[in-house]
Structure 1
Amino acid sequence: MKISIIGATGYAGAELLGILANHPEVEIGPITSESQTGTAIADVYPHLRGFYDKKLSSMTDISQFADSQAVFIALPHGHAMGIGKQLAEQGIKIIDLGADYRFRDESVYEQWYKVPHTHVKSGAVYGLTELYRDQIKGASIVGNAGCYTTASILALAPLAKNHLIDVKSIVVDAKSGVSGAGRSLNLGVHFAEMFDNLKAYNIGGHRHTPEIEQALSDVSGQEALINFTPHLIPMSRGILSTCYGNLNEGVTAEDVDQAFHDMYDQEYFIRLLGRGGYPAVKNTRGSNFCDLGWHIDPRTNRVIVVSAIDNLVKGAAGQAVQNFNVMFGFAENTGLAKIALYP
């Protein structure tokens, strides 16, 4: 089937092209870039040479997508809604890797992202596959989950679903490689600024906070309230999320173990390292896997869950393809059954 990519020259767009080159059910149609229109994609990303000889077009020519059955949108927030509305009117299915379709309540989006939501009543489904698979199957628009959020929600969902923790006690401490900041020039991610450095940012105000709260509220049936602190670390890709929650009265370590196994034992892309496990980002690099390990601290009555993903794969392009596979009835790991790069 024919698909297109809008915003193919960002890191997530390039990762999509790399994954879809090995997808047996896909033919790549138009790929777009507003900053590199007319340029061959292999001149922008030489690692794609020999796989793609396409030139980049502008997304403003909406007619070029008429033959596409699905379009991946990999644009910054605020830019997907306009083109998304036009595609939806043509009956084309959309997987948006940005934030524009992640929230059921558009006012929450507008509060955190500071732009008006212009494609309301879109019927979009939140694209965290392991939690929303049944809704994704029939969706016409999927708002792909964010990178920090994927790592954090997957770590906490079994605990929230089974009411093992107080969902208003959650603290998430997460660290990301610099590719999460995108490809645009930014002094804060220059080599001299980031090498041999580690820094927190957007404390108490990061835009992934309400996304995590929305999903945990869904699975628990209770309003979740979290403290989320992101950090930037000097590596190109990967996220390690360490999540803390106060255990409810009477909850045992065995209850925690059972919750994770009940929820994830049949999930291809979730690898449980078990109680006492220590996930590491190198073990998920370049793959669509999420590794989870958890620990019980009886002294503080807290559970600590550690989650590792590749932010550009399971946190972006890989999960987008996973959602695409679910939407169109392909095996969920089609094009994604890839072992992590090591070392």
Structure 2
Amino acid sequence: MQPKIKAAVIGSTGYGGVELIRLLLQHPNIQLHAVISTSSMGESIAESYPHLLQIAEMELDDLQIETLVEQVDIIFTATPSGVSGKLAKQLLEADGKAKIIDLSGDLRLQTPSLYEQWYGHESVDITTLKRAVYGLSELFEKQIQGATCIANPGCYPTASSLALAPLLSEKLIEPQSIIIDAKSGISGAGRKPNTTIHYAEINENIKPYKLNQHQHIPEIEQTLSQIAGEDITITFTTHLVPMTRGICSTIYAQLCENIEEAQLIEMYKAYYAGRKFIRIKPLGSIPSSKEVWGSNYCDIGFSVDKRTGRITIVAVIDNLVKGAAGQAIQNANIMMGWKETLGLDVFTPIYP
């Protein structure tokens, strides 16, 4: 049996960080070595998250970069945008043995000015950006293999890009006709209290937000443009819905030719052949978010409207797993040359 590699999670008290901890504790090849939170240093992780009582002896550490990069093999940064990019730069420049996987948006956009426009923060330097590989596991596996730094995709871009990639690759839809209507559970808004996610505000409510201003718009366009081989502009609308986990992206596009749904199913299955976390729904079946809850799956279904010549694609993921921590571990597996499902295939979706 090979020795386990050591991992650290920086930003351990947010939902993304604590989900990483949950998943890493099940991984056969990774040992959770350190959980780091400068705001809660010295506290037990179980004080913030009592469900982690089995590791209550683990204290939240302060960040000591020079020491950390020598002690561990892989570092997951789950800190807010505007912080993670600077942190990733410091970790890379420390020149230790550790690989970096960043869960924020700071390393995803390849153009600094675009990042500053959409995120409202100063971008990291272009050298750091160029060292980061965009880690949409099913689409960019070759680039991820052997990488030292990964920009883990956002939750909305993961569901939307995986849903559209086969159609754009096969040039079956008009690229400029894409409309994405996406809905997310409130865990995507983070743990910090605010009125938007207050129970009385979100219960029995559905709330559109950041119309035409969401920071994931350029990320989706960047990925889709790369796949299509041309610049793509999308219409993207997000909503908060009163559930804890889950994303449902309902996507509309104009078809370039008449095609049967049965043909699309076979085409999608061929495109994602061997990718265990992509599940294509059978003819006449559309996925729902509950069907992937707690798992690293992305379920995709579609319907062709012959009357209008448009296709509707529906993709669902758990925003904290496939949309964040699960995909980060999937990327770690690919980076290390392991099976991409390692430590993740134990999580069957929880239902009901």
Question: TM-score with structure 2 length normalisation?
Answer: 0.94
Alignment equivalent of 1:321, drawn from 322, 329, 334: 329
Pairwise CA distance, 1:253 = 4.2
The runs of at least 4 aligned residues of structure 1 exceeding 6 Å deviation read: none
Q: Match of 1:10? A: 14
SS in 2 for 1:292: strand
The letter of the residue matching 1:297 is D
Matched residues in 1 for 2:54 and 2:324: separation?
24
Answer with 318-327 or 219-228: which moved more: 219-228
Q: Determine if the alignment matches structure 1 residue 169 to structure 2 residue 173.
A: no
Matched residues in 2 for 1:275 and 1:127: separation?
30
SS in 2 for 1:121: helix
Contact preservation (8 Å) 1:82, 1:119: no
Answer with 113-122 or 329-338: which moved more: 113-122
After superposition, give the CA deviation of every residue in 1:120-175 in whole Å (9 maximum; x if it has no partner).
22221111100011100021110001001111111111111111011111000010
SS in 2 for 1:5: strand
| Gap change, CA 1:83 and 1:105, over 3 Å in 2 | same
Alignment equivalent of 1:33, drawn from 18, 21, 37: 37
SS in 1 for 2:183: strand
Superposed, 1:136-285 pairs within 5 Å as 136-251=144-259, 253=261, 255-285=263-293
Q: Match of 1:66? A: 70
The letter of the residue matching 1:191 is Y
After superposition, give the CA deviation of every residue in 1:174-207 in whole Å (9 maximum; x if it has no partner).
1000000000011110111111111111111111
Q: Determine if the alignment matches structure 1 residue 121 to structure 2 residue 130.
A: no
Q: Match of 1:43? A: 47
Contact preservation (8 Å) 1:240, 1:280: yes
Matched residues in 2 for 1:324 and 1:282: separation?
26
Contact preservation (8 Å) 1:78, 1:100: yes
Matched residues in 2 for 1:258 and 1:226: separation?
26
The letter of the residue matching 1:20 is L
What's the % identity of the aligned pairs? 45
Matched residues in 1 for 2:202 and 2:66: separation?
40
Unaligned runs of 5+ in 1: none
Contact preservation (8 Å) 1:150, 1:315: yes
Answer with 43-52 or 10-19: which moved more: 43-52
Unaligned runs of 5+ in 2: none
Contact preservation (8 Å) 1:21, 1:51: no
Answer with 56-65 or 276-285: which moved more: 56-65
The letter of the residue matching 1:125 is V
Pairwise CA distance, 1:75 = 0.8
Contact preservation (8 Å) 2:178, 2:253: yes
Pairwise CA distance, 1:114 = 1.4
Question: TM-score with structure 1 length normalisation?
Answer: 0.97
Q: Match of 2:350? A: 341
Pairwise CA distance, 1:248 = 1.1
Matched residues in 2 for 1:49 and 1:253: separation?
48
Q: Match of 2:106? A: 100
| Gap change, CA 1:87 and 1:193, over 3 Å in 2 | same
Q: How many correspondences in the alignment?
A: 343
Matched residues in 1 for 2:223 and 2:68: separation?
35
Pairwise CA distance, 1:249 = 3.8
Contact preservation (8 Å) 2:45, 2:55: no
After superposition, give the CA deviation of every residue in 1:241-262 in whole Å (9 maximum; x if it has no partner).
1011111145554553343122
Matched residues in 2 for 1:178 and 1:275: separation?
31
Pairwise CA distance, 1:37 = 1.1
The letter of the residue matching 2:140 is Y
Pairwise CA distance, 1:290 = 0.6
SS in 2 for 1:172: strand
Pairwise CA distance, 1:101 = 1.0
SS in 1 for 2:127: coil
Alignment equivalent of 1:81, drawn from 82, 85, 89: 85
Answer with 51-60 or 318-327: which moved more: 51-60
SS in 2 for 1:160: helix
Matched residues in 2 for 1:50 and 1:194: separation?
33
SS in 1 for 2:179: strand
Pairwise CA distance, 1:107 = 2.0
Pairwise CA distance, 1:274 = 3.4
The letter of the residue matching 1:115 is H
